[in-house]
Each structure stands twice: as structure tokens, then as C-alpha cells.
Structure 1
């Protein structure tokens, strides 16, 4: 694994995130979820996302570390729907430092969050990603996910019209 200490596969440890990890997890997310690579994810990645999940589902907020360095994270939650006997797990965020993404960090994070969700009675785990994010889709397929479905994500820029008016005035 480039960028990690020698033998880091053996040193890799998955643990619950602590309050002291929040800043580092946020910065790894900033590195991974960029506007260039994941426009819709970039728009929703912020410090409130991390702190809210940490405050509500801390047992499903995990970090992977080698020595003192955090290599990646997984943030999830569970959902119980009314009129359904099923409990769902939702892996909301999974991020691994860019230079380590071909290693086993993501797989080990997923394996642990899946184990924890199963202990909580989850019967199905859900993830989502952009339809054109082939590396993420391949990763999740290797973890056993299937039934890939695309959905439409749309935006409406409220300042676009006012910019056009300003351009005409200039």
C-alpha cells in the first residue's frame, strides 16, 4: 500500500470513531469527495454530516488506522420502516485515502460495519453512489451488492437567471 508504513496490512485496525477523529475523518472526506470526482456527494459532504452521524449512531462510525494514522472511515445508520418487519442498514459514507484505495482498507471497513449492522438486526444493507462512479460500483459488487439501479439526480441553480440578467446589463 503506497503511502502507508511497511507492513501496514498487518497493523490495520478497525475501531469506533472518537470525537478526536472527527476532524481527520472530515479532511479525508474532503480529499475523496471532490466536486471534480463526485459532484452530488461533494455538495452533501460537510462537517455536520460527520458530527450528526457520530452523535446519533456512533457505534456505526468506524475508522481504519495503522499506528496513529487514520487511513479511512465508514459512517452508517440503521432505518426501521413503519409497517415493515425489516431493519435496514445504510452505509452513508465510505472513504479511504486516495493513495490507499487499491488496498484492503475499504473492504475491512465494510466487513466490520456489516458485522455490527447484523448484530443490530439489519436484514439488508443499502448503499448509493453516482451511476458513473465505476470504481465504487465495482467495489460494492465485490462486497456482495447487486441489483444496481440508477436514479436521476437534478439540481436547479437559483442564481443562474440573475447572472444572465447581470451579464445583459454589463
Structure 2
């Protein structure tokens, strides 16, 4: 039984992800986190990524749905650092279908995952995104994130042949 608003439209609902959602969450993420985008990320979007988070922290894997249709998802986990009394929340992925990105779905998902993290004793939430992903940076700044730190990310493609340059001796 789905809830409707006074116009008869089905309401947006945020709920915990279930195993039946994995395939659709994967496909939404596939559209959003393309190879071009994830070239610059050290985490890649794949089935293993989703199932690992789902199996380890399923209460921090949530979806937004309207009727029978999934609109977006948030996948997170918690981290306890050695020698730190703090528990950190890590929002690993937040994705909303492209055509719905201006409709507050991401906002609702974000607020719910933060609420759940607080319940688990999290004191600080960490996110990472590509330095050139302006929409994501603006979204998180709008929600109070600061202390933006860029980190150096380098790759070495081992499938290409690298010629060693001779080292000149002094």
C-alpha cells in the first residue's frame, strides 16, 4: 500500500535497501559513475562495491523510491580509526537518476543517512569526490561540509610498456 499526497501522486519514500534493489541501484550508478568519471576515482563503481557495503553496513545503504520506481540511493559505512576516540561516517556513494537531480531526492537521502550515522555514534562524516565535480562540491558545501582538502591521485598504467631511462652517474 503506497501513500499518496493530496494530488493523488505517490510520495517519495526513503527506506533501507533490500537485496532485490541491488540490480537497479547498480544500473542507476552505472549511468552516473561512468568510466570517464571514475577514471579519477580510486573507487570504481561495480557490483562488488555495492554488495560489500550492503553486506557490511546495510543499515547505511538506503534508497529513495516513488511507487515501485527507485529514484536514487546513498551507500555509507562507518570507520573507527586506530588511536582515535571518534567514529567516522563515510558517505561512499550518493546517486540520483539524472532527470531527477533537481527534485531534492539527494537532499532527502543525505539527511536520512546522516541521521542514521548519528544514531550509530558517528561524530564526523567524510565524503570524497573529484576536484572538478562542481555540482557535488556545491551540494556538500550547502550541507555544511568544509575543510576541503585535495589529495594527489596518480596512476601508473601497467599495460603500457615503460622504457627505463638510463640513470646518469655523477
Tell me the TM-score range normalised by the shorter chain.
0.7 to 0.9
Structure with greater proportional helix content: 1
Whole-angstrom distance in 1 between the partners of 2:86 and 2:9: 35
What pairs with 1:101-120 in structure 2 (closer than 5 Å)?
Answer: 101-120=101-120
Larger-Rg structure: 2
Aligned to 1:156: 156
**Contact 2:38–2:44 (8 Å) recurs in 1:** no
> Alpha-carbon deviations, 1:80-127, whole Å to 9, x = none?
112111000000000110111112000100000000000000000000
Distance 1:144 1:10, change over 3 A: farther
Whole-angstrom distance in 2 between the partners of 1:43 and 1:86: 24
Greater RCO structure (CA 8 Å; 6+ sep): 1
Distance 1:44 1:84, change over 3 A: same
Using the TM superposition, give the Cα deviation of residue 152 of structure 1 relative to its aligned residue in structure 2, in angstroms: 1.2
**Contact 1:34–1:42 (8 Å) recurs in 2:** no
Please give the TM-score of this superposition, normalised by the length of structure 2: 0.86
Using the TM superposition, give the Cα deviation of residue 35 of structure 1 relative to its aligned residue in structure 2, in angstroms: 2.2
Using the TM superposition, give the Cα deviation of residue 44 of structure 1 relative to its aligned residue in structure 2, in angstroms: 1.0
What pairs with 1:117-156 in structure 2 (closer than 5 Å)?
Answer: 117-156=117-156
> Alpha-carbon deviations, 1:41-80, whole Å to 9, x = none?
4961100000010000000000000110000000000011
Find runs of 4+ consecutive structure 1 residues off by over 4 angstroms. Answer: 7-10
Using the TM superposition, give the Cα deviation of residue 37 of structure 1 relative to its aligned residue in structure 2, in angstroms: 3.4
**Contact 1:61–1:73 (8 Å) recurs in 2:** yes
Superposed CA RMSD: 2.0
**Contact 1:33–1:41 (8 Å) recurs in 2:** no
SS at match of 1:146: coil
Q: How many residues align?
A: 157
Whole-angstrom distance in 2 between the partners of 1:9 and 1:92: 31
> Alpha-carbon deviations, 1:121-166, whole Å to 9, x = none?
000000000011101000111111111111111111111217x9xx
Whole-angstrom distance in 1 between the partners of 2:66 and 2:121: 30
Greater mean deviation of Cα atoms: 109-118 or 30-39: 30-39
Whole-angstrom distance in 1 between the partners of 2:8 and 2:96: 14
Aligned to 2:15: 15
Give ranges in structure 2 of 5+ residues lacking alignment: 1-6, 164-170
